[in-house]
A and B are shown apart, each in its own frame.
Chain A
């Protein structure tokens, strides 16, 4: 009996080690390995340098249409206005011309901030509230290379797809309604 007791007390510090090993290992898997496994990294079809297009402000390309809806990423016709013939010598531009402009195909951009179909989101009232684009979107003014698009392997959404809780929090802070039908029409 005594022997067993002493043996048990002798193993105590070691038990904490096993516990910590499991604890820290799981934290590492949960916080580091799992997110990397969950989100795939996908390259955009061609690179787009926001820096190279800095002569124009955000809204000259990402604009609201006359009917108040948001234009999102410009369509190929907008690219054609300048890139009908090559402006520089970048690989991305050459690909834009050969693969898309000449074939009159839209560039299948992967949209970082893609929102689910079951959500109705309008940029117009948010802009009216004086919110900066960077409140929700990444800062792109110094971006030369598009970051990889990270897609959730389970849901198919982008890593930047906004979660409902974020919408709700801001709505609550600003005193906007959080009724279901405000977003889920």
Chain B
């Protein structure tokens, strides 16, 4: 038997036939298709029992109630609003809904890192153990304290009201450094206005839900994170039964989301909102349409007054009724018609429950001290500062106070050093609020150096307007320590990174909602166990305090952050004030100021249990009684203002008035004004824009890597720019390539650049997209306070 060529072919034919009649080829074909379903990089969701756990969002100062969907009690798969919360009723903003994308973000920092090469070199960031990192830092802090250099340690923290802020202050006070600062915020302006006019340390707050006519000077009520928790419950009431019962008048230069949802939009020139406020006050006072009794009995400086030296000074009445604030003059300043001003003034004066609001939800503080006072003055004229009025002072949540710091000689000596933000020329300097003065002082080295700068829950290198100042100051600081959970711009430049847990992995709290008149407190318990080798920054501070020994350790005696929060809640329980909103129909917004709320908890442990389960604590608005000013009244002639410690020469300098600090640069070189705005679909603070939010960004805001500036059709025609054209945007701070979006939402002569774009850190999905508006903007400090003002800067657009 010969197995020749022919036999082989016969065999092969048989084999082919047999194979075709077997499952082999068909199975292989089908399996190769199924194989593609199991490629290793394909996400495979964990299977198991799905449960829900209630929590609180701590990604902005809002503190909205959330619930997380978990698989097998650990793997979080969805964040949604908690319908059981009486304020949010299940509502949530785009940032809060993206919570998980930050928990599982690829740019999270997985372990402590130390820079071994030059600052900013990512290859030099090497892992270091927690023990090693904390021992090294503890030793350095102890040495600086022993050398009498405690004041050379500084920190920049988040501006969110929480127990963490109090713990930082406790640490710095006991350690002996006065140089603790918080990131700037629009609420700083409300605090400034309240301090100047009432002498109280709490910022102004508004009873939005009780208002029937809301005159909003640039507030961002409907632009996402920040104001959502107060704006949405108010909006629900305003539109009850499908009919709008409240009139919202929005005053700003750009047709924002809030303006488009308002009943009336008054498009004023940028920065002239306060001029309109003065114009309205002018008409109210002149016509006698204001709360005469309230002003007579409770206001100092409305009429002419005499200063301590016996000099007769002009009062607000005379100033505001002068021709400078006549409708015609204000019309020239604002660009509105005199008749429009008269109409809005009449409505504001005549309508019941009318309130003037500002700064609510705004990304930056847009007004200087005198403008803040002008807005407050409108509410004073309406009598809104009466007990139970529409404007009040933010209530202080009665949490347990931290133990008195036992300062030793080292701390006392260092604390006596002048704060780095101290400037003699400014009469109002809140502790922790003078970030710009501080950075300027570090940059110039005019006072004393900063050896260690700590940054917690903040990304100043990106999110601080005029962020170049931080960069310049940083060059003078030998050690930057970041506590960020994410590889943000600031963390990437750090010399040591001690990563915090993500917000869904840690204990945190919400100690009041900015701009809300009612009292609110919530505990954010961890939704899931920490995924990475991170540590709660609160516990890092407790460990460092312990390692420094007494009296620093004794000032911070808690073993864990959870224990510290329990201690604070125990104090809240002992105050016997407020109640837990454990039902969705609790009418928090209906409460009158000073109204007694029956507590529905009997002990601290019970209150803790309820708060940990995701319910919030609430109490009635604070009853405004008495003012801490020299006169004991509301001061429209604010005697706190004495420029350079001496009486001001000009009477106007004590009074609310319109005074726009001119932006730098020449008008011929920079013929346009640049205004930065924050759309609802970007995040511009500590958190970057999430992948969910990226999908919401329209092509008219960002396309590819180019951001768009909004330009009015007339302005575009004047410069002969076409839609989508690539141009160069230049200010005295910097230059960037942007595209033109011709939009009627813009005001002629003004360029609008969105905030939240142009990151240089995180991952490739975030970085390099658009331009960071903060790098182009200019910050101005007014003569009264060290609170920075960001309203506009001069700009030019030219073809590239």
Q: State yes or no: do A and B come from one complex.
A: yes
Binding site for B on A (CB under 8 A): 11, 14-16, 18-27, 29-31, 34-35, 38, 65, 67, 69, 71-72, 75, 116-118, 152, 154-157
Give the contacting residue for B11; candidates A21, A35, A72; CB below 8 A: A21
> CB-CB < 8 A to B50: which residues of A?
67, 69
From B31-39, B619-627, B771-779, the one touching the partner chain is: B31-39
B residues 25-69 with Cβ under 8 Å of A? Answer: 27-28, 31-32, 34-35, 37-38, 42, 44-45, 47-50
The reply to whether B34 and A23 form a contact with Cβ atoms under 8 Å apart is no
Instruction: Tell me, rounded to whole Å, the shortest Cβ–Cβ distance linking B656 to chain A.
Output: 59
Contacts A18-B7, A155-B37: A34 and B14 contacting too (C-beta < 8 A)? no
The reply to whether the CB of B239 lies closer than 8 angstroms to some CB of chain A is no
Give bound CA distance, A38 to B565, whole Å. 58
Instruction: Tell me, rounded to whole Å, the shortest Cβ–Cβ distance linking B151 to chain A.
Output: 49
Give bound CA distance, A24 to B15, whole Å. 7
> CB-CB < 8 A to B310: which residues of A?
none
Interface contacts beyond A30-B22, A154-B35: sample of 14 additional A-B pairs, CB < 8 Å, sorted by A: A20-B14, A21-B14, A23-B17, A24-B14, A26-B14, A26-B18, A29-B18, A30-B23, A116-B34, A116-B37, A117-B42, A154-B31, A155-B35, A155-B38
Instruction: Tell me, rounded to whole Å, the shortest Cβ–Cβ distance linking B353 to chain A.
Output: 46
Give the contacting residue for A26; candidates B10, B19, B34; CB below 8 A: B19
Q: For A24, give the chain B residue with the smallest CB separation.
A: B18
Give bound CA distance, A35 to B28, whole Å. 11
Give bound CA distance, A12 to B36, whole Å. 47
Give bound CA distance, A23 to B42, whole Å. 40
Chain A, interface SS category: helix
The reply to whether B22 and A22 form a contact with Cβ atoms under 8 Å apart is no
Q: For B33, give the chain A residue with the smallest CB separation.
A: A155
Instruction: Tell me, rounded to whole Å, the shortest Cβ–Cβ distance linking B73 to chain A.
Output: 10
The reply to whether A23 and B49 form a contact with Cβ atoms under 8 Å apart is no
The reply to whether the CB of B21 lies closer than 8 angstroms to some CB of chain A is yes
The reply to whether A19 and B13 form a contact with Cβ atoms under 8 Å apart is yes
Give the contacting residue for B10; candidates A22, A27, A75, A155; CB below 8 A: A22
For chains A and B in complex, what number of residue pairs have CB atoms within 8 angstroms?
101
The reply to whether the CB of B648 lies closer than 8 angstroms to some CB of chain A is no
Give bound CA distance, A166 to B494, whole Å. 59
> CB-CB < 8 A to A117: which residues of B?
37, 42, 44-45
25 contacts between A and B (CB under 8 A): A15-B6, A18-B8, A18-B11, A18-B14, A22-B14, A22-B16, A23-B15, A23-B17, A23-B18, A26-B16, A26-B17, A29-B22, A29-B24, A30-B18, A30-B19, A34-B24, A34-B27, A72-B47, A72-B48, A117-B37, A117-B42, A154-B31, A155-B34, A157-B34, A157-B38
The reply to whether the CB of B1 lies closer than 8 angstroms to some CB of chain A is yes
Give bound CA distance, A65 to B47, whole Å. 13
Q: For B28, give the chain A residue with the smallest CB separation.
A: A154
The reply to whether B23 and A65 form a contact with Cβ atoms under 8 Å apart is no
Q: For B17, give the chain A residue with the smallest CB separation.
A: A23
Q: For A116, give the chain B residue with the smallest CB separation.
A: B37
> CB-CB < 8 A to A72: which residues of B?
47-48
Q: For A65, give the chain B residue with the smallest CB separation.
A: B49
The reply to whether B49 and A69 form a contact with Cβ atoms under 8 Å apart is yes
- Pairs A-B, 6 closest by C-beta atoms: A30-B22, A26-B18, A22-B14, A23-B14, A22-B15, A19-B14
The reply to whether the CB of B12 lies closer than 8 angstroms to some CB of chain A is yes
The reply to whether B11 and A22 form a contact with Cβ atoms under 8 Å apart is yes
> CB-CB < 8 A to A155: which residues of B?
31, 34-35, 37-38
> CB-CB < 8 A to B45: which residues of A?
117
> CB-CB < 8 A to A25: which residues of B?
14-15, 18
Give bound CA distance, A149 to B513, whole Å. 57
> CB-CB < 8 A to A118: which residues of B?
37
The reply to whether A154 and B23 form a contact with Cβ atoms under 8 Å apart is no
Give bound CA distance, A75 to B47, whole Å. 12
> CB-CB < 8 A to A34: which residues of B?
22-24, 27
Give bound CA distance, A25 to B16, whole Å. 10
> CB-CB < 8 A to A38: which residues of B?
27, 31
Give bound CA distance, A18 to B38, whole Å. 41
> CB-CB < 8 A to B7: which residues of A?
14-15, 18
> CB-CB < 8 A to A157: which residues of B?
34, 38
Mask: chain B, 338-370; 1 = CB below 8 Å from A; 0 = not: 000000000000000000000000000000000
The reply to whether B18 and A15 form a contact with Cβ atoms under 8 Å apart is no
Instruction: Tell me, rounded to whole Å, the shortest Cβ–Cβ distance linking A69 to chain B.
Output: 7
> CB-CB < 8 A to A31: which residues of B?
22-23
> CB-CB < 8 A to B1: which residues of A?
14
> CB-CB < 8 A to A23: which residues of B?
14-15, 17-18
Contacts A65-B49, A154-B31: A27 and B22 contacting too (C-beta < 8 A)? yes
Instruction: Tell me, rounded to whole Å, the shortest Cβ–Cβ distance linking A40 to chain B.
Output: 13
> CB-CB < 8 A to B47: which residues of A?
72
Contacts A152-B31, A157-B34: A18 and B22 contacting too (C-beta < 8 A)? no
Mask: chain B, 201-233; 1 = CB below 8 Å from A; 0 = not: 000000000000000000000000000000000
Instruction: Tell me, rounded to whole Å, the shortest Cβ–Cβ distance linking B187 to chain A.
Output: 42
Q: For B31, give the chain A residue with the smallest CB separation.
A: A154
> CB-CB < 8 A to B49: which residues of A?
65, 69, 71, 75
Q: For A118, give the chain B residue with the smallest CB separation.
A: B37
Q: For A31, give the chain B residue with the smallest CB separation.
A: B22
Q: For B39, give the chain A residue with the smallest CB separation.
A: A156
Q: For B1, give the chain A residue with the smallest CB separation.
A: A14
Give bound CA distance, A71 to B50, whole Å. 10
> CB-CB < 8 A to B21: which residues of A?
27, 30
The reply to whether A35 and B23 form a contact with Cβ atoms under 8 Å apart is yes
> CB-CB < 8 A to A75: which residues of B?
48-49, 72
Give bound CA distance, A20 to B14, whole Å. 6
Instruction: Tell me, rounded to whole Å, the shortest Cβ–Cβ distance linking A117 to chain B.
Output: 5
Instruction: Tell me, rounded to whole Å, the shortest Cβ–Cβ distance linking B11 to chain A.
Output: 4
> CB-CB < 8 A to B22: which residues of A?
26-27, 29-31, 34
The reply to whether A18 and B10 form a contact with Cβ atoms under 8 Å apart is yes
> CB-CB < 8 A to B18: which residues of A?
22-27, 29-30
Instruction: Tell me, rounded to whole Å, the shortest Cβ–Cβ distance linking A16 to chain B.
Output: 8
B residues 116-162 with Cβ under 8 Å of A? Answer: none
Instruction: Tell me, rounded to whole Å, the shortest Cβ–Cβ distance linking B421 to chain A.
Output: 52
> CB-CB < 8 A to A24: which residues of B?
14, 18
> CB-CB < 8 A to A35: which residues of B?
23
> CB-CB < 8 A to A152: which residues of B?
31, 34
Instruction: Tell me, rounded to whole Å, the shortest Cβ–Cβ distance linking B13 to chain A.
Output: 6
Q: For A8, give the chain B residue with the smallest CB separation.
A: B6
The reply to whether B24 and A30 form a contact with Cβ atoms under 8 Å apart is yes
Q: For A106, give the chain B residue with the smallest CB separation.
A: B72
> CB-CB < 8 A to B23: which residues of A?
30-31, 34-35
The reply to whether A15 and B10 form a contact with Cβ atoms under 8 Å apart is yes
Q: For B19, give the chain A residue with the smallest CB separation.
A: A26
Instruction: Tell me, rounded to whole Å, the shortest Cβ–Cβ distance linking A121 to chain B.
Output: 11
Instruction: Tell me, rounded to whole Å, the shortest Cβ–Cβ distance linking A150 to chain B.
Output: 13
Q: For B21, give the chain A residue with the smallest CB separation.
A: A27
The reply to whether A22 and B13 form a contact with Cβ atoms under 8 Å apart is yes
Instruction: Tell me, rounded to whole Å, the shortest Cβ–Cβ distance linking A174 to chain B.
Output: 24
Give bound CA distance, A46 to B24, whole Å. 33
The reply to whether A154 and B10 form a contact with Cβ atoms under 8 Å apart is no
Q: For B14, give the chain A residue with the smallest CB separation.
A: A22
Give bound CA distance, A67 to B69, whole Å. 13
Q: For A119, give the chain B residue with the smallest CB separation.
A: B37
> CB-CB < 8 A to A21: which residues of B?
11, 14
Instruction: Tell me, rounded to whole Å, the shortest Cβ–Cβ distance linking A98 to chain B.
Output: 23
Q: For B43, give the chain A residue with the smallest CB separation.
A: A117
Instruction: Tell me, rounded to whole Å, the shortest Cβ–Cβ distance linking A77 to chain B.
Output: 10
Instruction: Tell me, rounded to whole Å, the shortest Cβ–Cβ distance linking B16 to chain A.
Output: 7
Give bound CA distance, A117 to B45, whole Å. 8
Instruction: Tell me, rounded to whole Å, the shortest Cβ–Cβ distance linking A30 to chain B.
Output: 2
Give bound CA distance, A71 to B72, whole Å. 11
The reply to whether A156 and B24 form a contact with Cβ atoms under 8 Å apart is no
The reply to whether B10 and A19 form a contact with Cβ atoms under 8 Å apart is yes
The reply to whether A22 and B12 form a contact with Cβ atoms under 8 Å apart is yes
> CB-CB < 8 A to A116: which residues of B?
34, 37
> CB-CB < 8 A to B32: which residues of A?
154
> CB-CB < 8 A to B16: which residues of A?
22, 26
Instruction: Tell me, rounded to whole Å, the shortest Cβ–Cβ distance linking A79 to chain B.
Output: 15
